[in-house]
Amino acid sequence: MMHLHILGCHSATPKANLHPTAQVLDFNGELCLIDCGEGTQVRLRQQKIKFTRIKHIFISHLHGDHCYGLIGLISTFGLLKREADLHIYGPKGIKKFINIQLELSKTYTSYKIIFHELTSTKSEIILEHNKFTVETIPLDHRIYTNGFFFRGKSRDRKLLINQVEEFGIDVAYYKSIKKGKDIKLDDGTLVKNERLTEPPNPPNSYAYCSDTAFKPSLVEQLNQVEVLYHESTFLEKDEDLCFKTKHSTAKQAAIIAQKAQVKHLILGHFSARYRDENTYKVEAETIFEPTYLAKSGQCFSFE
Amino acid sequence: MMHLHILGCHSATPKANLHPTAQVLDFNGELCLIDCGEGTQVRLRQQKIKFTRIKHIFISHLHGDHCYGLIGLISTFGLLKREADLHIYGPKGIKKFINIQLELSKTYTSYKIIFHELTSTKSEIILEHNKFTVETIPLDHRIYTNGFFFRGKSRDRKLLINQVEEFGIDVAYYKSIKKGKDIKLDDGTLVKNERLTEPPNPPNSYAYCSDTAFKPSLVEQLNQVEVLYHESTFLEKDEDLCFKTKHSTAKQAAIIAQKAQVKHLILGHFSARYRDENTYKVEAETIFEPTYLAKSGQCFSFE
């Protein structure tokens, strides 16, 4: 079960109603905040997301439109007398970035902040949770940047309840059957597991890639991911701007999605220069379908 | 001529529609930003205030609800390719506060930022403009804090145009008459200035006092100020919270206004704990009238 709440999905230049990047991923019941542009705490309130449920924050890079809202959120957690630890994953420097502001404003948090500073340019697992793992996706931007890959843990096999009951198997054995064990009945008959179960649903997965230049080598890591969020700051007609700024076009995002055989593609990090955002979708869908456009305030749900 | 645009007027805990402190004072045609809570740049856009017209930013203290929006605004000025110098007046430390963030995010501004770091606990003139001066108002808060006093320059005397024309005085002399000079007519008669002019309007003035505990010694400096903005975080029934947090009640703000014989009082920095903000006004007006409540998006104009 995976819900993606879009808090903001635009690039830096602010307009009155366009918000910089931030999203909350509810991944198998665990809330992760990914990037935290200015105003994120207000957007969290507007979308009625409980602050206390956020235990992990992932910051892709230290450009302002992805992290200037972090200090405000951290301070507010303190005002709300948060007690739970807060884990922050981001580029080396993020600890100094935050701590100097807390220090100069004489703000003391009521809870512990654990910084996980990243430096590797190779993908690495940065969180092992009992429901999922998170690994970095090294991206190609003007500054050290990582995307994040959320991978659900393998699930139990599904019980064929009619079969199990027909054999008169006691409920006490259900857990081990779901783990794949065979069962010996009271009369000594051995029942093979495959008669009692069917294969589990594949683990769910989400990959977040913002900001990055077109990077075909991502395809291998992103192979068959269920949902890919890929930045598309520009349209193909402005591809020259991508080279300069190290961003991608909608078409390039779609090429990655197609080659990696992902299930769903969500585009975001839109430039304010285009009037009609639907053009991003039209451009991407010449290559890959279904493509969705991120929109502040929207929640995507995937089973 | 004085217009005060309220961008935000609430204390720290964010709610979806309550914004932290920031205001733009248009003082004799010059735009000054006073405090800069998170989201200020978006509020500036919403109120259609031209970014390029802001040349001076005054930060009272380094608590987040008064300054977390500054780094975003500075970055956006850069994205908009600002060229004009930007003057920032605030507590010692503000330069480090901003520069470390710019450095870590590898953001280079296209314009010059001139920091004026304040340390004095006595009032001092920090800006001498040809239209006004700005002096600090040392406040009493949990951290080093200054209010700001904007004082218009003395104006010219007002020409009594009928009189001047009756004497047949040439236009070339008007400027010196307005400066207070007497005039010798062609026939040798001396006309005293008071027959040709009336006294100028008194210089306009605005005092911003946020955040502060009740500080009766402010009365002397605030004497007869035209418009006083004074924080009133709490109501009298919660006065005990003022001691702990070094804030003021609406009543205390009104006592300062009354004793200083100000013309208009504006209250702000409201706590989110009260449902009906009008109670602040009711409480203050038992002591001083007229009292206005600041409101995000509102513009107060004073001639």
Q: Per-residue pLDDT tens for B26-77?
A: 998 999 999 999 999 999 999 999 999 999 999 999 999 999 999 999 999 9
Give the range of the structural domain holding residue A256, as residue numbers without chain letter. 2-155+201-296
How many distinct structural domains can be found in chain B? 2
The domain spanning residue B140 has which CATH number?
Answer: 3.60.15.10
Is A303 part of any domain? no
Tell me the C-alpha distance between A228 and B166, whole Å: 83
Q: pLDDT value at position A197?
A: 95
Is the confidence at residue A14, as pLDDT, over 70? Answer: no
Contact A134, A152 (CB under 8 A): no
Q: Residues of A marked as binding?
A: 61, 63, 65-66, 141, 211, 269
User: Which of A72, A93, A106 has its CB closest to that of B38?
Assistant: A72
Q: Hey, how many other C-beta atoms are within 10 angstroms of the C-beta on A84?
A: 12
DSSP character at residue B206:
E
Angle B211-B212-B216 from CA coordinates, rounded to 5°: 145
pLDDT tens digit sequence for A265-300: 999 999 999 989 999 999 999 999 999 999 999 999
Same domain, B175 and B32: no
pLDDT tens digit sequence for A26-61: 998 999 999 999 999 999 999 999 999 999 999 999
Same domain, B186 and B39: no
CB contact under 8 A, B14 and A46: no
Structure tokens at B78: 């850069």
Tell me the C-alpha distance between B85 and B90, whole Å: 16
Same domain, B89 and B234: yes
SS3 B138: strand
CA-based nearest residue to B294, from B258, B255, B251, B250: B250
CB contact under 8 A, A107 and B12: no
Distances (CA, A) of B161 to B176, B192, B197, B297: 14, 15, 8, 40
Angle A9-A212-A206 from CA coordinates, rounded to 5°: 65
Same domain, B184 and B259: no
B14: confidence class by pLDDT, cuts 50, 70, 90: low
The annotation status of B269 as a binding-site residue, yes or no, is yes
Which chain B residues touch A38 with a CB distance below 8 Å?
38-39, 41-42, 69, 72
Which chain B residues touch A62 with a CB distance below 8 Å?
104-106
Mutate to test the interface with B, among A21, A38, A45, A70 (most CBs of B within 10 A): A38
Same domain, B269 and B129: yes
Is A301 part of any domain? no
Tell me the C-alpha distance between B292 and B264, whole Å: 8
Q: What does DSSP say about strands A2-8 and A299-302: parallel, antiparallel, or unpaired?
A: antiparallel
Same domain, A146 and A165: no
Is the confidence at residue A18, as pLDDT, over 70? Answer: yes
Q: Which of A66-70, B92-96, B169-173 has the lowest mean pLDDT?
A: B169-173
Q: pLDDT value at position A154?
A: 84
Same domain, B113 and B237: yes
Which chain A residues touch B246 with a CB distance below 8 Å?
none
pLDDT tens digit sequence for A104-142: 999 889 999 999 999 999 999 999 999 999 999 999 999
CA distance B105 to chain A (A): 5
Distances (CA, A) of B143 to A147, B60, B138, B281, B292: 39, 10, 11, 27, 27
